[in-house]
Amino acid sequence: MASISMTLSRFFSRPSHGETWRLAWPIILSNSSVPLLGAVDTAVVGHLPDPHYIGSVAIGALIFSFLYWGFGFLRMGTTGFIAQAAGEGDANEVRAILARAMLLSLGISVLILLAQGVVLWLAMFLIDGSDLVEAGASRYFSIRVWGAPAVLANYALMGFFIGIRETRAALTVQIFMNGLNVILDLVFVMGLDWDVGGVAAATAISETLAVGLGLLLARRHLARLGGVWQKSAILALAKLSRLLAVNLDIFIRTILLIFAFSYFTAEAAKQGDVTLAAIAVLMNFMQFIAFGLDGFAFAAEGLVGTAIGARKPEKLREIVYVSSFWALVVAGLYSLVYLVFGTAIIDLLTGIPEVRTVAYGYLPWLIVAPLISIWSYQLDGIFIGAVQSKEMRNGMIISFIFYMIAMKVFGDIWGTNGLWAALMLFMGTRAVTLALVYPRVERSAMR
């Protein structure tokens, strides 16, 4: 017992505990506000008289998952590079990386706006919803798409804040954006009766105003870091090429991840509007898991990148150990909350009796999901901080192949429960594929 006590004492006395929590708690709060926003969107339309409103918002949000999450490399790639540059003490390169990411976000957003008609047509072609759901989703898309430049710029800014380990700035921007979105949701939908269009307008307006706040905070932190803007450094061909190569790997990984969740929703849509509405309600639980558990993954990104930039393998191992421990603890708390309050949360999100009944039946999957999912989220953060993008891409490809096979086999055998089983297998396989190649992360700190 004494040896166990001493081991625990040494473990909890490590400085990395405080450092991990200092970085993680703002991200946990800010990330948790993202699915809260989605929950509010679902709740305001979930209390309208017909379930097709929920389906419309679910499908519309699904389209933007492809558009925006697909370009999540603007945050992830930025974080790893900036953390390593900060670890090396190169303030000029920190500025150059941020500038490259902002320029890339601007170019992509222009392409999205120019191609919005094609994107909407393709989405409606691929998603098999009812006429009412598709009409509402089209209206949602046509309004919200104008927030694209702000969303992608915010991705780059979030990567910058996490990379320099100023996660409270990320929290400030996220809370401002989501708080404003909730207020506008209530005004536009409940007050002005704009239904689906009001949800989309609220989101686009809040996203646009948030980027202004993000730029102001970035300016303050850049002044503290020092350094100067150098056009030659920003446009350095070798570094631009590496940025694009890493971002392409992360893009492939992210698109497959998004498609996995989107395919899940699309398969559920074939069961009718009520089942689709129930899945839309329950996917809010998955969003809470993803964004909440990502708090420690984001903390790991900044800390791992800094340790690698400073060439400190011992510090890297300590960060991985400590951040993973606390991530597991929080995952257990999520499972406990879903076990105790899951039905109450469903009731809060929708007042439609048939939707509630269907959702209750699938709640056990959400209770075990945090304990299965935690490892893939945490390892993602470690590999992003180490800028080991090829390993992330390859692991995702392998996991996705297993997932698609499982969706077909399990779906045919167990129906919608089979779809949930395939999703859990997908999350577990992602963790295994990354864990097998983790030693490469430690080697990167020794170069």
Residue 239 has pLDDT above 60, yes or no: yes
Least confident of 218-222, 240-244, 286-290, 331-335: 286-290
Q: Residue 223's domain spans which residues?
A: 14-444
The domain tally of the chain equals 1
Sign for the CA dihedral angle at 19, 25, 30, 36 comes to positive
* Domain assignment present for 149: yes
- What pLDDT, on a 0 to 100 scale, did the predictor assign at position 46? 65
Helices and strands (H and E) in the chain: how many: 18, 0
Per-residue confidence at 4, pLDDT binned at 50, 70, 90?
very low
* Domain assignment present for 63: yes
Stated pTM of the model: 0.77
Per the structure block, which two tokens stand in for 256? 């497959």
The values of phi and psi at residue 50, to 5°, are -130, 140
* Domain assignment present for 390: yes
Residue 422 has pLDDT above 80, yes or no: yes
Per the structure block, which two tokens stand in for 12? 């909890």
Per-residue confidence at 212, pLDDT binned at 50, 70, 90?
very high
Report residue 121 CA to chain centroid gap: 25
* Domain assignment present for 4: no
Residue 310 has pLDDT above 90, yes or no: no
Per-residue confidence at 8, pLDDT binned at 50, 70, 90?
very low
Which one, of 46, 61, 210, lies nearest residue 144 by Cα?
A: 61
Burial 217-251 (b: 16+ CB within 10 A, else e): bbeeebeeeebeeeeebbebeebeeebeebbebbb
- What pLDDT, on a 0 to 100 scale, did the predictor assign at position 7? 46
- What pLDDT, on a 0 to 100 scale, did the predictor assign at position 140? 82
* Domain assignment present for 3: no
Q: How many Cβ atoms are within 10 Å of 338's Cβ, its own excluded?
A: 22
Enumerate the H helices of 270-312 as residue ranges: 273-309
* Domain assignment present for 393: yes
Q: How far is CA 365 from CA 2, 177, 285, 437, in A?
A: 39, 31, 10, 29
CB-CB contact of 229 with 86 (8 Å):
no
* Domain assignment present for 5: no
Least confident of 132-146, 252-266, 312-326: 132-146
* Domain assignment present for 80: yes
